[in-house]
Amino acid sequence: MTDATNFIDWEELQGKEARGVNKNVDLGEVQQIGRNYVVTKKGITGKEIFYIPKYLAERYDGHTLWFNVTEGQKTEFSRQAPPTYDEYVRYRTATVPTDIESRIRIAEA
């Protein structure tokens, strides 16, 4: 992958597909952008709601927002109410971009 210098604001990602570490980890569609998390919904009836930390976002490829979330981990983010900042601050690491809360890197698929 090339060193991408293109970014997109989070707000522009509403309605986009969300996936985990691979295409098999379906996180639904981006519904809302919070300060520290992204809200996604999966399913037509009995929708499952995920609050995924922005810290786990890896890239946006023009169609899909990719997160560093495995199939086993996604249940951690399934909930009906927003998380507290303290609940998700543990996902922030030294490798997380400092501007992750305002924009996401655009990368090739």
Give me the domains of the chain, ranges plus CATH numbers: 7-105 (2.30.30)
pLDDT of residue 99: 84
Residues 6+ apart with CB under 8 A from 21: 66, 67, 68, 69, 70
Does residue 1 have a pLDDT over 60?
no
DSSP one-letter code for 54: G
Helix (H) or strand (E) holding 17: strand 17-19
Q: For 58-80, how does the pLDDT look when each residue is reduced to its tens digit (9 = 90+)?
A: 999 999 999 999 999 999 999 99
Task: Look up the pTM and report it.
Answer: 0.84
Confidence band, pLDDT 50/70/90 cuts, at residue 13: very high
Average pLDDT over the chain, rounded to an integer: 88
> What is the distance between the alpha carbons of residues 18 and 84, in angstroms, rounded to a whole number?
22
Average pLDDT of the segment spanning 90-95: 82
Q: CB 22: neighbour CB atoms within 10 A?
A: 9
Cα 15–Cα 19–Cα 22 angle in degrees, nearest 5: 155
Q: What is the DSSP string of 64-95?
A: EEEES--TTTGGGGB-SSPPPHHHHHTT--TT
